[in-house]
């Protein structure tokens, strides 16, 4: 019996979107209708229309497989009926929302696993997914939007698709669709526009989707070239490879490469460093680390490859990544070295590069390797010189005894070379003085013991004088080389220490806080002093580090002009040499700058404090002269009228009492606001935090203001967790903000009050459709004693929003204004949500200060 042939695997087509609402489902249904019209067998396995009329209309005429209905915790859930679709066995199945999590008890946990089974059964699938659900991009999307996606799909599932198509829509067009009510119902529009669907968020998500797809297309292109054996470069987009050696020219090359890549849309920057296979060709790891960070900050990638033939290795890497440009630096070798060793690596790279353009970039370090060093000496310490003399005095006799015991008529050549080696060793150890001593000593010993007539020092032949001179010349040359190396090492070490010290003290001045103490400490450490003190001109200690040396005078240096120094720097310990004094002068200048900086900051803080106090005082006097005078005058007039009660009717007397009562209540409220704003500004506002239901606070505020459905439209989230807040203060905040919104809203348009969750914070959004506030003046509405042009003095002192922001910040939240789409102002009260596991019924009674 012949084996049953396995069905072909179905083809998967993925419609990828940057955000909800771009039209993925609409496009999927449109494609299904087109395929049906071509005579293909198409069914809707599952579709989520989200009550969008245009999407629902696209389902007309397409066969739909009934959904499977399950009950979970007394809630009816509908899911894709996998068995029903398999029994129907259509040619093409339309499956919406590939990353969806199935209801508990389903055969598969995820919908993409259902799709895998459909594909295995030979059914073609067209599906949809948003970029935020792709697993590798989930963290990036959360960082952009602030919202963690719970449903994700492995990248491999999407990349395995036979076709991936981005359903694109410009961010502003998507916001326009959202505003028009084509994506979400009206009560969710404002919150969506202000949170997930911000213009910046949508732009970033769109770029993320396009880049992810571009990377997928690039991988497919490389796979095709590998399968077809195509080795040439296909310049589909600019890829710029920058070669790094770890030298100082690296930053110049990276920035030049970045500019080249930026000239073309979608250009890519890659930096590469070649390491020898034996690991012996080393570069400065610190420089490479810094250059790697620079590459990554410019949006490029860093690669480290292994190879002994640098030109060939670089070109092979460039070809493997389809590079179009290769950036290398001009050789750091001098002209003499280039003439002796040939054109170098650059010419070889150009020869091998083929159709890759090579840019040779000049830089500040070009041609410096061949410069001749200046000859100076005196860098070796006395210990090494003494050691050189010791080696000469001990090594010379020992070598003479050894050579004399083995002498023969033919050994004179080896004897001369042995003494010459001793001179070189002494020169390496002790420098020029011990080397000259060893050269003269070895020459005399050689003449005395090994040159006829023996046991006499006689320079009877000119060649003997030449030999002695050669000994001395060799000793001088070797010792000069050793001395120069030591001098350069010491100079480099000192320069590095001085540069580090100057960078540190400059950084301390820029940072400002504790700069003087840091400078004093750094001075003591740099010069190895026992103690350093910074004194005021009056002798008061400003900063101190270490302890003064008893019985030894201190060196005092004025900081600032000698006639009127700003401070005195007192040094205790060893004396400083001339180079150290020059460095100390630079530090003293930095200390003077730090003192001046500190004085300026203090003066600025005092001036700012005085200006704020003066502004508040002026505003307070203005408010008292206008706002407090009205209720006070009304109360005085009403009480004065009551004194003539004998001539007043009962109705007039009741009216006067009501006027007095209303005026005194208004006066009491104004005084309460004044006291509260003074507490907020002084930072002594007491706050008692506890888990609070935001919906209850909103409803209580509506009762207090006596507002009804004609005035306010509610969109409260029943699943919103409790917030950490002071219920009394939060109610005052909502009352103040809501009263302000109702006052400025048009008479026939209600104010919208909604609650929602954004990450770990809850938001109470109060939306009006009034005139709104210009963006550059939105911060000013929170200043006390102003109303931004509102001349209605009956509304109070202009403290409501100032108090509301102070109360909200005292509870650990924020109060921010936003433009309402279509006109108006939206006030957003954001507060932290109570951590999971906290009993909402337990009061924390936590005390905080605003």
Best mean pLDDT range from 180-194, 404-418, 790-804: 404-418
Q: What's the rounded Cα separation, in Å, for the pair 765 and 762?
A: 10
CATH 3.30.530.20 fits 686-849, yes or no: no
Tell me the average pLDDT across 63-89.
Answer: 84
- At residue 95 the predicted structure's pLDDT band, cuts being 50, 70 and 90, is very high
Long-range contacts of the stretch 2-10 (C-beta < 8 A, 24+): 7/121, 7/122, 8/122, 9/119, 9/120, 9/122, 10/118, 10/119, 10/120, 10/121, 10/122, 10/123, 10/124, 10/125
Cα maximum dimension of the chain: 155
Q: What's the rounded Cα separation, in Å, for the pair 322 and 413?
A: 63
The pLDDT value given to residue 823? 79
The pLDDT value given to residue 685? 56
- Indicate if the pLDDT at residue 50 is higher than 60: yes
pLDDT (tens digit, 9 = 90+) per residue, 350-360?
888 777 888 88
- Indicate if the pLDDT at residue 848 is higher than 70: no
Secondary structure of 203-269 as H, E, C letters: HHHHHHHHHHHHHHHHHHHHHHHHHHCCCCCCCCCCEEEEEECCCCCHHHHHHHHHHHHHCCCCCEE
- Indicate if the pLDDT at residue 93 is higher than 90: yes
The pLDDT value given to residue 127? 94
Residue 489: CB atoms within 10 Å: 11
The pLDDT value given to residue 280? 38
- At residue 843 the predicted structure's pLDDT band, cuts being 50, 70 and 90, is very low
The pLDDT value given to residue 23? 87
CA distances from 714 to 181, 691, 701, 771 (A): 18, 22, 12, 21
Secondary structure of 419-433 as H, E, C letters: HHHHHHHHHHHHCHH
- At residue 505 the predicted structure's pLDDT band, cuts being 50, 70 and 90, is low
Tell me the average pLDDT across 356-369.
Answer: 68
CA distances from 442 to 239, 413, 417, 462 (A): 66, 14, 11, 18
The pLDDT value given to residue 177? 81
Q: What's the rounded Cα separation, in Å, for the pair 348 and 314?
A: 11
The pLDDT value given to residue 245? 81
CATH of domain 12-225: 3.40.50.300
Best mean pLDDT range from 211-220, 499-508, 547-556, 793-802: 547-556
Tell me the average pLDDT across 201-227.
Answer: 65
Tell me the average pLDDT across 542-550.
Answer: 74
Q: What are phi and psi of 326, to 5 degrees?
A: -130, 120
pLDDT (tens digit, 9 = 90+) per residue, 727-786?
877 887 888 888 888 888 887 888 899 998 887 888 999 988 887 787 777 777 776 555
Q: What's the rounded Cα separation, in Å, for the pair 803 and 228?
A: 72
- According to CATH, the topology of domain 239-361 is Rossmann fold (3.40.50)
Tell me the average pLDDT across 87-109.
Answer: 88
Q: Could you tell me the residue ranges of all domains in the chain?
A: 12-225, 239-361, 382-485, 512-682, 686-849
The pLDDT value given to residue 546? 75
DSSP 833: B
- According to CATH, the topology of domain 512-682 is Helix Hairpins (1.10.287)
The pLDDT value given to residue 124? 93
pLDDT (tens digit, 9 = 90+) per residue, 687-719?
678 898 988 888 888 887 888 888 888 888 888
Secondary structure of 708-752 as H, E, C letters: CCCCEEEECCCCCCCEEECHHHHHHHHHHHHHHHHHHCCCCCCEE
Nearest to 759 by CA among 718, 720, 798: 720
Contact between residue 41 and residue 65 where contact means Cβ atoms under 8 Å apart: no
Q: Compute the residue count for the chain.
A: 850
DSSP 101: B
- Rounded to the nearest 5 degrees, what angle is found at the Cα of 107, between the Cα atoms of 102 and 110? 35
The pLDDT value given to residue 43? 93
- Is the pLDDT higher at 535 or at 237? 535
Best mean pLDDT range from 231-235, 373-377, 406-410: 406-410
Q: What's the rounded Cα separation, in Å, for the pair 51 and 28?
A: 16
- Rounded to the nearest 5 degrees, what angle is found at the Cα of 447, between the Cα atoms of 442 and 449? 90
Q: Which two tokens stand for residue 649?
A: 């009717």
Q: What's the rounded Cα separation, in Å, for the pair 544 and 534?
A: 6
Beta strands in 486-605 (DSSP E): 531-535, 541-546, 555-559, 567-572
Peptide bond into 453 cis (omega under 30): yes
- At residue 472 the predicted structure's pLDDT band, cuts being 50, 70 and 90, is low
Strands 357-361 and 325-329: parallel
- Is the pLDDT higher at 644 or at 370? 644
**What three-state secondary structure class fits 322?**
coil
The pLDDT value given to residue 184? 75
- Is the pLDDT higher at 274 or at 562? 274
The pLDDT value given to residue 666? 63
What pairs with residue 93 in β-bridges? 43, 125
pLDDT (tens digit, 9 = 90+) per residue, 821-833?
777 888 899 999 9
- At residue 800 the predicted structure's pLDDT band, cuts being 50, 70 and 90, is low
Q: Which two tokens stand for residue 302?
A: 């860093």
Q: What's the rounded Cα separation, in Å, for the pair 386 and 433?
A: 10
581 Cβ contact list (under 8 Å, min separation 6): none
Among 7-21, 515-529, 790-804, which stretch is predicted with the lowest mean pLDDT? Answer: 790-804
Q: Do domains 12-225 and 512-682 have the same CATH topology?
A: no
- % of the chain surpassing 90 pLDDT: 6
Nearest to 765 by CA among 731, 715, 839: 715
Best mean pLDDT range from 93-97, 249-253, 417-421, 505-509: 93-97
Q: What's the rounded Cα separation, in Å, for the pair 104 and 301?
A: 43
Tell me the average pLDDT across 447-465.
Answer: 70
The pLDDT value given to residue 90? 92
Nearest to 526 by CA among 592, 473, 584, 597: 584
Residue 227: CB atoms within 10 Å: 8
- Rounded to the nearest 5 degrees, what angle is found at the Cα of 75, between the Cα atoms of 69 and 81? 15
- At residue 126 the predicted structure's pLDDT band, cuts being 50, 70 and 90, is very high
Q: What are phi and psi of 77, to 5 degrees?
A: -115, 145
Among 206-220, 267-281, 624-638, which stretch is predicted with the lowest mean pLDDT? Answer: 624-638
- Indicate if the pLDDT at residue 315 is higher than 80: yes
The pLDDT value given to residue 674? 56
pLDDT (tens digit, 9 = 90+) per residue, 389-436?
888 888 888 888 888 888 777 777 777 778 778 877 887 787 777 877
Q: What's the rounded Cα separation, in Å, for the pair 163 and 12?
A: 7
- Indicate if the pLDDT at residue 534 is higher than 50: yes
The pLDDT value given to residue 123? 92
Among 35-39, 550-554, 773-777, which stretch is predicted with the lowest mean pLDDT? Answer: 550-554
Tell me the average pLDDT across 341-355.
Answer: 73
Tell me the average pLDDT across 84-112.
Answer: 89
602 Cβ contact list (under 8 Å, min separation 6): none
CA distances from 790 to 622, 744, 793, 798, 838 (A): 15, 10, 8, 9, 44
The pLDDT value given to residue 791? 40
CA distances from 454 to 150, 444, 447 (A): 100, 12, 8
Contact between residue 267 and residue 239 where contact means Cβ atoms under 8 Å apart: yes
Average pLDDT for the chain: 75
- Is the pLDDT higher at 111 or at 182? 111
Beta strands in 510-663 (DSSP E): 531-535, 541-546, 555-559, 567-572
Strands 751-758 and 761-767: antiparallel
- At residue 42 the predicted structure's pLDDT band, cuts being 50, 70 and 90, is very high
């Amino acid at each position: 019996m012949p084996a049953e042939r396995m069905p072909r695997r179905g083809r998967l087509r993925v419609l990828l979107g940057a955000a909800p609402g771009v039209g993925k489902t609409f496009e999927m249904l449109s494609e299904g209708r087109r395929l049906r019209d071509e005579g293909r067998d198409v069914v809707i396995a599952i579709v989520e229309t989200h009550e969008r009329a245009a999407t629902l209309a696209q389902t007309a005429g397409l066969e739909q497989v009934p959904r499977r209905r399950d009950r979970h915790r007394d809630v009816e859930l509908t899911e894709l009926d996998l068995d029903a679709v398999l029994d129907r066995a259509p040619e093409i199945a339309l499956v919406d929302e590939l990353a969806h999590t199935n209801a508990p008890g389903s055969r598969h946990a995820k919908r993409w696993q259902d799709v895998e089974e459909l594909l295995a059964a030979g059914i073609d699938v067209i599906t949809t997914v948003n970029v935020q659900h792709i697993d590798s991009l989930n963290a990036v999307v959360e960082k952009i939007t602030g919202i963690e996606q719970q449903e994700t799909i492995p990248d491999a599932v999407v990349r395995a698709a036979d076709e991936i198509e981005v359903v694109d829509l410009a961010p502003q067009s998507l916001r326009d669709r959202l505003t028009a009510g084509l994506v979400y119902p009206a009560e969710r529009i404002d919150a969506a526009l202000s949170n997930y669907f911000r213009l910046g968020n949508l732009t970033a998500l769109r770029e993320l989707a396009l880049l992810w797809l571009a990377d997928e297309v690039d991988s497919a292109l490389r796979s095709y070239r590998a399968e077809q054996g195509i080795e040439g470069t296909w310049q589909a987009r600019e890829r710029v490879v920058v070669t790094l050696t770890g030298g100082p020219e690296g930053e110049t090359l990276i920035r030049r490469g970045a500019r080249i890549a930026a000239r073309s849309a979608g250009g890519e920057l890659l930096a590469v460093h070649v390491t020898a296979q034996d690991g012996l060709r080393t570069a400065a790891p610190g420089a490479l680390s810094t250059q790697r960070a620079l590459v990554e900050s410019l949006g490029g990638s860093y690669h480290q490859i292994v190879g002994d033939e640098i030109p060939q290795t670089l070109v092979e890497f460039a070809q493997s990544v389809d590079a179009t440009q290769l950036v290398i630096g001009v050789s750091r070798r001098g002209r003499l070295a280039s003439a002796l060793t040939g054109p170098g690596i650059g010419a070889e790279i150009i020869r091998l590069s083929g159709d890759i353009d090579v840019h040779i970039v000049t830089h500040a370090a070009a041609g410096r390797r061949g410069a001749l060093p200046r000859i100076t000496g005196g860098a070796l310490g006395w210990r090494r010189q003494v050691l050189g003399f010791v080696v000469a005095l001990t090594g010379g006799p020992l070598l003479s005894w050894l050579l004399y015991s083995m002498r023969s008529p033919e050994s004179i050549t080896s004897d001369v070379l042995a003494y010459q080696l001793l001179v070189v060793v002494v020169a390496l150890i002790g420098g020029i003085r011990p080397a000259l001593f060893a050269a003269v000593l070895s020459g005399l010993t050689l003449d005395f013991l090994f040159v006829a007539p023996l046991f006499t020092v006689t320079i009877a032949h000119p060649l003997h004088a030449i030999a002695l001179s050669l000994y001395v010349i060799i000793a001088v040359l070797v010792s000069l080389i050793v001395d120069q190396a030591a001098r350069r090492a010491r100079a480099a070490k000192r320069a590095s220490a001085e540069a580090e010290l100057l960078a540190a003290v400059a950084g301390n001045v820029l940072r400002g806080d504790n700069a003087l103490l840091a400078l004093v400490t750094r001075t003591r450490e740099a010069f190895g002093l026992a103690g350093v003190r910074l004194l005021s001109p009056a002798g008061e200690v400003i900063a101190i580090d270490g302890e003064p040396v008893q019985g030894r005078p201190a060196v005092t240096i004025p900081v600032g002009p000698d006639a009127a120094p700003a401070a005195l720097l007192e040094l205790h310990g060893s004396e400083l040499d001339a180079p150290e004094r020059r460095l100390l002068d630079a530090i003293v200048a930095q200390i003077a700058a730090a003192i001046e900086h500190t004085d300026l900051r203090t003066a600025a803080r005092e001036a700012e404090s005085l200006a704020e106090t003066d502004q508040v005082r002026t505003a307070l006097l203005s408010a008292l002269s206008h706002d407090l005078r009205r209720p006070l005058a009304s109360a005085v007039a009403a009480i004065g009228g009551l004194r003539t009660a004998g001539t007043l009717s009962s109705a007039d007397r009741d009216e006067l009492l009501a006027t007095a009562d209303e005026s005194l209540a208004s006066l009491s409220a104004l005084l309460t606001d004044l006291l509260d704003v003074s507490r907020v500004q002084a930072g002594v506002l007491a706050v008692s935090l506890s888990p609070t239901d935001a919906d209850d606070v909103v409803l209580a505020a509506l009762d207090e203001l006596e507002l009804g459905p004609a005035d306010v439209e509610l969109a409260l989230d029943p699943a919103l967790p409790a917030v950490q807040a002071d219920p009394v203060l939060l109610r005052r905040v909502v009352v103040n903000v809501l009263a302000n919104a109702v006052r400025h809203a048009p008479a026939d348009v209600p104010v919208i009050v909604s609650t929602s969750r954004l990450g770990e914070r809850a938001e109470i959004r109060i939306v009006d459709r009034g005139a709104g506030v210009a963006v550059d003046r939105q911060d000013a509405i929170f200043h006390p004693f102003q109303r931004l042009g509102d001349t209605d003095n009956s509304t109070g002192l202009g403290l409501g929003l100032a108090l509301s922001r102070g109360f909200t910040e005292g509870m650990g939240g924020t109060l921010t204004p936003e433009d309402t789409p279509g006109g108006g102002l939206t006030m957003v009260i954001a507060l932290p949500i109570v951590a999971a596991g906290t009993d909402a019924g337990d009061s924390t009674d936590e005390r905080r200060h605003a």
